Copies of this chain bind each other. A is one copy, B any other.
Amino acid sequence: MKRDLSTEEKIKAAAKKVFMTKGFDGCSVRDIAKEVGSNVALLNYYFRSKEKLFELIFEGAMSDFLQSIIEVFSSDLALKEKTSLLIDKEFDFFMEHPELPMFIIQAIQQNKNESSVAPTFFEPIEKTGIFQQLKEAQAKGEMRQMSLRNITILLMSNVHYPFMSKKLTQQFHGIDEATLQQDLFAHKAHVKEMLINYLFPQNQPA
């Protein structure tokens, strides 16, 4: 057939949309089929099952996610500048894909990911040499002495959470999408200043 443009891609796009908004358990394959404007059997014709389709979407999401990080880490900047740039880029990225952090964390929490994320996620980042750069910066006293894991938690908390809690924040403060958007911009500025100051203290002791 080759109807118009790859049906396979259309299904993937629809599945992504539905999975992202409703979650794996929260949607049926018929929901996705309806979004495609087609039949349920077609999904299993192209992808073997609902689970396989989800895994594909999940891996794609992780890949997109990873991409935006790698770009920054691969750049030729000092760690302080990389940190600042990372926060900027991540915010820009999540502004366009606000459902992504929730989607990923939820999928991992429910073990919907067959393989561990470590090899597909940790290693590509390590290859950018960012961890080595971090070690050196700490050795030179340019950066606060704290574990890589705690740096990660600190960064991710401030960058991911605001997008995961959009609805909660809106309901809690009774604000609309546009106002929240402004708050997110303000948050980005706060996070940048706060984190940079904390991670790279200007008057380090002794």
Contacts and interface: CB of A to CB of B under 8 A. Distances in A.
A161 B156 contact: yes
A104 to B, nearest CB: 7
**10 tightest A-B contacts by CB?**
A25-B25, A157-B161, A161-B161, A25-B26, A194-B198, A117-B171, A108-B168, A157-B157, A109-B167, A157-B158
A14 to B, nearest CB: 19
Contacts of A194: 154, 194-195, 198
A178 interface: no
Given A161-B161, A164-B105, A164-B164, A169 B153 contact: yes
Contacts of A183: 147, 149-150, 153
10 contacts: A105-B168, A117-B172, A149-B169, A150-B186, A150-B187, A154-B158, A154-B187, A158-B161, A164-B164, A193-B198
A132 B23 CA distance: 40
Contacts of A187: 150, 153-154
A121 interface: yes
A111 B161 CA distance: 18
Contacts of A104: 168
A110 interface: yes
A1 interface: no
A122 interface: yes
Nearest to A191: B154
Contacts of A174: 116, 118, 122
Interface in A147-193: 147-150, 152-154, 156-158, 160-162, 164-169, 171-175, 183, 186-187, 190-191, 193
Contacts of A110: 22-23, 26
A92 B186 CA distance: 29
